[in-house]
Structure 1
Amino acid sequence: MCGIVAGVSYRNIVPILTEGLRRMEYRGYDSCGVAVVDDGQLKRSRTVKRVQDLIRQTEEDEVKGSTGIAHTRWATHGAPEIRNTHPLFSNNQIAVVHNGIIENYAAIKEELIGKGYEFVSQTDTEVIAHLVHYYYKGDLLGAVENVLRRIRGAFALAISCKDEPGRIVAARVAAPLVIALGENENFVASDPMALAGVTDRYIYLEDGDVADVRQQSAEIYNLQGDQFVRVERPVSVVQGFSQNIALGPYTHYMQKEIFEQPQAISDTLEGVVGISSSIFGHETPAMFKRLKRVLILACGTSYYAGMVAKYWLESLAKVPCDVEIASEYRYRESVPDKDTLVLTISQSGETADTLAALEHAKSLGMDMTMTICNVATSAMVKRTRAHYITRAGVEIGVASTKAFTTQLAALFLMTSAIAKEKGLLSEEEEKARLKDMRHLPEAMRAILEKENEIKEWASVFAQKNNALFLGRGMHYPIALEGALKLKEISYLHAEGYPAGELKHGPLALVDAEMPVVTVAPNDELLEKLKGNMEEVRARKGELFVFSDQGCNIQPSEGMHVIQLPENYAVLSPILHVIPLQLLAYHTAIAKGTDVDKPRNLAKSVTTE
């Protein structure tokens, strides 16, 4: 979602700030801006266009300075208009950029209006700017500390003051923020990748931390009782952020990331020489023995990965599994069970709803916690007792692809480890599963060779307004994921259904203008699925079928078929999602939408 980059330097900092924003474009945004302290004044440039437009604007406005803050905004409070675009000012003295939501802003706004402050934006952020100004008595850190005692919510802040050049104060509560340590300069960012190539030394701030950042120092304080106390946080050396950022021969990052999946799966499974619960952490053997249920908490694409895992866990490990949308679980009364493994799934590890759901489960006494995540330094990893880090690498396209398939690979590995811990996986079965998993990259490459065939289908979908996706069993979540991908980036309305549910309502929508995508692997449900397909044909629906080896589904009038090269058995969901990703991608290309940055969406959803 929103991105922050700020800093204090010995040089003009604006090119570093705008490049940092460019690196965070993948998070999703609808406006952006930068402000600097220059010759005792605050200067800024803002736009509701792209970062490249902001760069041109800073040059035209001659915005330069060695102390500055910058932001990409994904609108929550207030439309994407210039007046709502960060940085926001108070009396041309205080400048603020803000990720997250201030829950009690309305009451504070009313109070500040009573004190004579004039609000020009519709945002909750402007409350912070005016409140800092109200408390400012010559010490920016002291003013911000007073503000932090007043505001509630999940947020990350970076604040500057025209009267204190060479100083940035930053703070975080339940939203990611790091300090980046340079040579004779220091920075703040919501994503370390924003400063790739500038430095490789980072301090990951913890909840409640406030940082006083200057050119030669970065001091961190945390509220303990009623006082902010100086604390030390470890410095992490993180390298390699920039290695996968170049597009290379690809047109879009989403296309690049679809084609990176074989390598991502290979990297995720690297070092796995045997199926063992200990690869998830030293506490997992005892937890896997103890668990009687698994509760999966996730959002969006990660939620669909959890739905696939439910089929695997119950069929292969014989463990009951519940999969909950994190934003729903945290707000309903549920029945806790201390013998339940609470498993979160997140690409970023900073998803606000999933983090809150995790903390809710822990508050109910469920102490066996684990996460599958793509970021080793994330809050999700720090707050769970066990974890498996997928190695998908940087995923810039907003619509998740390689993060999803690597999550599935990790979930299958976890399922097998639980089964082994419970005596349900023989040595021969373990060898067979490892062999099948190691074959995944090769199988993926063979499917990617079908791109041109899928591209032909996409030209048909681009002319439609709606689509249905059907699957049965563990491929029902894959149908959901395929529909999600199509609507995310092409804006074509699509819904996924279990094929057996057609006659319970969705069949009413089927006609000659409704393309129906069917995930049709050669499994025990194939014959039933064929019956569902005939229901579609009888209503003049047009079928687009992804089958695999041995299905014996032949193309005919109203029946388009692409056969994948093999039958992938229990690992089929990991493979069958790839053609659905390609179908969504090429449909979006045909419609001319912004593939990597779809409207209204964000990559890392750090607000509720």
Structure 2
Amino acid sequence: MCGIVGYFGLREAAPLLIDGLQKLEYRGYDSAGVAISNEEGIKVSKCKGRLANLESKLIETPLKGNVGIGHTRWATHGEPSDVNSHPHSNSKISISVVHNGIIENYLKLREWLISKGYEFLSETDTEVIPNLIDYYYEGNLIEAVMKAVSSMEGSYAIGVICSKEPDKLVAVRKDSPLIVGLGKNESFIASDIPAVLNHTRDIYLLEDKEFVVLTQQGVTLLNEMGEEITKEPYHVTWNADAAEKGGYEDFMLKEIHEQPKAIKDTMASRISLDHDIILDKITITKENLKEIDRIFMVACGTAYHAAVVGKYAIEKLAKIPVEVDIASEFRYREPLITEKSLVIVVSQSGETADTLAVLRDSKKKGARVIAVTNVVGSSVSREADDVLYTWAGPEIAVASTKAYVTQLIAMYIIALHFAALKESLSSEEIYDIKKAMLELPTLAEETLENKDVLQKFADQTYMERDMFFLGRGLDYAVSMEGSLKLKEISYIHSEAYAGGELKHGPIALIEKGTVVIACVTQSYLADKMVSNIKEVVTRGAKVIAIALEGNTDIEKSVDSVIYLPKTLDILTPVLSVIPLQLIAYYVAKQKACDVDKPRNLAKSVTVE
């Protein structure tokens, strides 16, 4: 997720672009840049790091002009660097582009453009766009942009300027947000509303495959056929702070609702019914996998819970033994790591101190290390032998939500890839799992519709001192994450237990009125789980269950049920965690807790 801005008007563009980028820096802070068009052509200034670096650069070397585009980056393709920063241009710097999203077929387009004589400087997917526009350019920028995007697959919000048409700024969106700000004798584009609120509160909200052309005559909206369209401007009444959260009250709630897109983005170009699993630059072969006698999955906190799901998935699908451990424990217990070991470290930030230490120790012992992380250019991504990025975009809230579900997707991708290499699953079985995975973004959207029931539950339980989570199999892994979320942001004491462990001690904690949240999504364990629920109900517990659609029998045993859309048992953690996140959120809100910045916690734990 990145931030883009654009300006066309009578004022100097550069200061206005910087002002807009300041409001969007929460969307990305790996690098920033601007491109300004004037009578001398297009001038570009960009650099790695926070926006302040770009501001300093522009003070030393100002860019003059009344038309420009700007960008603040959250790296996905290519590490944070000056050359990978946006805007990207063709070699003649006659066309410059800023882009938010992922071009899934960029490798194919890049190879094709190279065959046509085009040169590339960066590692990014974005650089194909200005070159593709250049290829199609025959004197009409909007036509060239339309032809270019018709060749592109994936998600994008794009702003384009061209030195041959300096009186024009063109933009288009598909699956990535883009708005148009309507000022007096000036207009703006931006990926989020805060970027323009200092200058106008009247905006157009662009829909997918809608184009906009900014000129001295004003703003023209076009559909994908090039036909002019009209729409009513939207008048913004929010304050700037609320707008940065996209209209949501908190970043955490916003990020919970961003999960369907994060799931989709993390699968993009990797999972397809038309080709084998693609693991980016991970080069493990069938022969390599035969030499691996054990996989160690190591992580902390929420990432550890994702690794527990990964263990289930890899062992079930790829039939490889997996050990899961907490990084701070693993590094001190003298694990039996050898040259035949594969170590998978999972870290949202890529800077988690204990996880990084495990990575380094494992490499010293000759093990191969795969990193699963959300941050391009982070320490674990640089030091691991292989890296698989989770394309969640930046998480502002300390308690992880969308990073967790994208880590789950990464686990499934790795498990399926290994299963294909080992031939432990038939091609038909792999096809069915991939098909179900591609449905998850839509099913996640449906799962988010349970908010009313969850808010009511929170209203009734927020004064509780203790809550318990139960589950079996994968449901136990998700229960641990649900319990952690509740602890993190509501400060309610909470524990997660495997259902079968109740009678070995924890049931002594159950008394009349005790709140229990039970996950019942694993069909082969459903009867066993119902028995466990009855054990706590008999002792007076109040139970809310998370179950799959159609399992109405569960209603006989619990006080209320949240139903999830049906999917394969192995994939249910992606959906079942969503109501648990929302329960934690609504309970914390009822207690007036700061859900985005819970006490004593930091987003990235960079010390042991």
Q: TM-score by structure 1 length?
A: 0.62
2:57 aligned partner = 183
1:262-273 matches, cutoff 5 A: 262-272=260-270, 273=272
- C-alpha separation in 1, matches of 2:332 and 2:554: 48
Q: Secondary structure at the match of 2:57?
A: coil
Q: CA deviation at 1:340?
A: 1.4
- C-alpha separation in 2, matches of 1:499 and 1:475: 9
Contact 2:436 / 2:567 at 8 angstroms: preserved in 1? no
Does residue 322 (structure 1) correspond to residue 323 (structure 2)? The answer is: yes
Aligned residues: 410
2:417 aligned partner = 417
2:337 aligned partner = 336
- C-alpha separation in 2, matches of 1:560 and 1:411: 31
- Partner letter of residue 404 of structure 1? Y
1:31-50 matches, cutoff 5 A: none
Change in Cα spacing, 1:20 to 1:506, as seen in structure 2 (3 Å) is farther
Q: Secondary structure at the match of 1:279?
A: coil
1:539 aligned partner = 539
Q: Secondary structure at the match of 2:552?
A: coil
1:130-529 matches, cutoff 5 A: 180=53, 182-184=56-58, 203=81, 243=191, 246-272=244-270, 273=272, 276=276, 279-285=279-285, 286-366=287-367, 368-529=368-529
Q: TM-score by structure 2 length?
A: 0.62
- C-alpha separation in 1, matches of 2:52 and 2:470: 47
Q: CA deviation at 1:389?
A: 1.0
Contact 1:301 / 1:404 at 8 angstroms: preserved in 2? yes
| Percent identical | 38
Change in Cα spacing, 1:602 to 1:445, as seen in structure 2 (3 Å) is same
- Partner letter of residue 340 of structure 1? S
Q: Secondary structure at the match of 1:516?
A: strand
1:141 aligned partner = none
Contact 2:27 / 2:74 at 8 angstroms: preserved in 1? no
- C-alpha separation in 2, matches of 1:396 and 1:184: 28
Q: Secondary structure at the match of 2:372?
A: strand
Q: Secondary structure at the match of 1:365?
A: coil
2:569 aligned partner = 569
Cα RMSD over matched residues?
A: 3.5
Q: Secondary structure at the match of 1:310?
A: helix
Contact 2:27 / 2:393 at 8 angstroms: preserved in 1? no
Q: CA deviation at 1:461?
A: 2.0
2:578 aligned partner = 578
Contact 1:203 / 1:236 at 8 angstroms: preserved in 2? no
Change in Cα spacing, 1:423 to 1:496, as seen in structure 2 (3 Å) is same
Contact 2:548 / 2:563 at 8 angstroms: preserved in 1? yes
- C-alpha separation in 2, matches of 1:197 and 1:283: 31
- C-alpha separation in 2, matches of 1:483 and 1:255: 17
Contact 2:489 / 2:593 at 8 angstroms: preserved in 1? yes
- Partner letter of residue 57 of structure 2? E
Contact 1:180 / 1:199 at 8 angstroms: preserved in 2? no
Change in Cα spacing, 1:25 to 1:325, as seen in structure 2 (3 Å) is farther
Bigger RCO of structures 1 and 2 (CA < 8 A, at least 6 apart): 1
Q: CA deviation at 1:370?
A: 0.6
- C-alpha separation in 2, matches of 1:271 and 1:24: 26
Listed one character per residue, the Cα deviations across residues 217-256 of structure 1 (whole Å, up to 9, x for unaligned) are xxxxxxxxxxxxxxxxx99999999957921121111111
- C-alpha separation in 2, matches of 1:237 and 1:178: 20
Instruction: Judge which range, 270-279 or 574-583, deviates more.
Output: 270-279
Listed one character per residue, the Cα deviations across residues 371-410 of structure 1 (whole Å, up to 9, x for unaligned) are 1111122111111121211111111111101100011011
Contact 1:568 / 1:575 at 8 angstroms: preserved in 2? no
Change in Cα spacing, 1:602 to 1:253, as seen in structure 2 (3 Å) is same
Contact 2:473 / 2:522 at 8 angstroms: preserved in 1? no
- C-alpha separation in 1, matches of 2:489 and 2:432: 38
- C-alpha separation in 2, matches of 1:598 and 1:297: 25
Q: Secondary structure at the match of 1:449?
A: helix
1:140 aligned partner = none
Q: CA deviation at 1:442?
A: 0.9
Contact 1:547 / 1:553 at 8 angstroms: preserved in 2? no
Change in Cα spacing, 1:509 to 1:488, as seen in structure 2 (3 Å) is same
Listed one character per residue, the Cα deviations across residues 411-464 of structure 1 (whole Å, up to 9, x for unaligned) are 101101101100112221122111101100111111111111111111122021
- C-alpha separation in 1, matches of 2:313 and 2:448: 25
Instruction: Judge which range, 284-293 or 590-599, deviates more.
Output: 284-293
Listed one character per residue, the Cα deviations across residues 178-225 of structure 1 (whole Å, up to 9, x for unaligned) are 994552569xxxxxxxx9759999659xxxxxxxxxxxxxxxxxxxxx
- Partner letter of residue 300 of structure 2? C
Does residue 555 (structure 1) correspond to residue 429 (structure 2)? The answer is: no
Contact 1:549 / 1:567 at 8 angstroms: preserved in 2? no
Contact 1:514 / 1:541 at 8 angstroms: preserved in 2? yes
Contact 2:269 / 2:278 at 8 angstroms: preserved in 1? no
Change in Cα spacing, 1:501 to 1:25, as seen in structure 2 (3 Å) is farther
- C-alpha separation in 2, matches of 1:185 and 1:514: 62
Q: Secondary structure at the match of 2:544?
A: strand
Listed one character per residue, the Cα deviations across residues 106-159 of structure 1 (whole Å, up to 9, x for unaligned) are xxxxxxxxxxxxxxxxxxxxxxxxxxxxxxxxxxxxxxxxxxxxxxxxxxxxxx
- C-alpha separation in 2, matches of 1:528 and 1:237: 50
- C-alpha separation in 2, matches of 1:571 and 1:557: 25
- Partner letter of residue 574 of structure 2? I
Contact 1:26 / 1:603 at 8 angstroms: preserved in 2? no
- C-alpha separation in 2, matches of 1:384 and 1:360: 11
- C-alpha separation in 1, matches of 2:499 and 2:511: 16
- C-alpha separation in 1, matches of 2:313 and 2:262: 21
- C-alpha separation in 1, matches of 2:328 and 2:24: 30
Q: CA deviation at 1:22?
A: 11
Change in Cα spacing, 1:383 to 1:438, as seen in structure 2 (3 Å) is same
- C-alpha separation in 2, matches of 1:442 and 1:513: 36
Q: Secondary structure at the match of 2:459?
A: helix
Listed one character per residue, the Cα deviations across residues 148-175 of structure 1 (whole Å, up to 9, x for unaligned) are xxxxxxxxxxxxxxxxxxxxxxxxxxxx
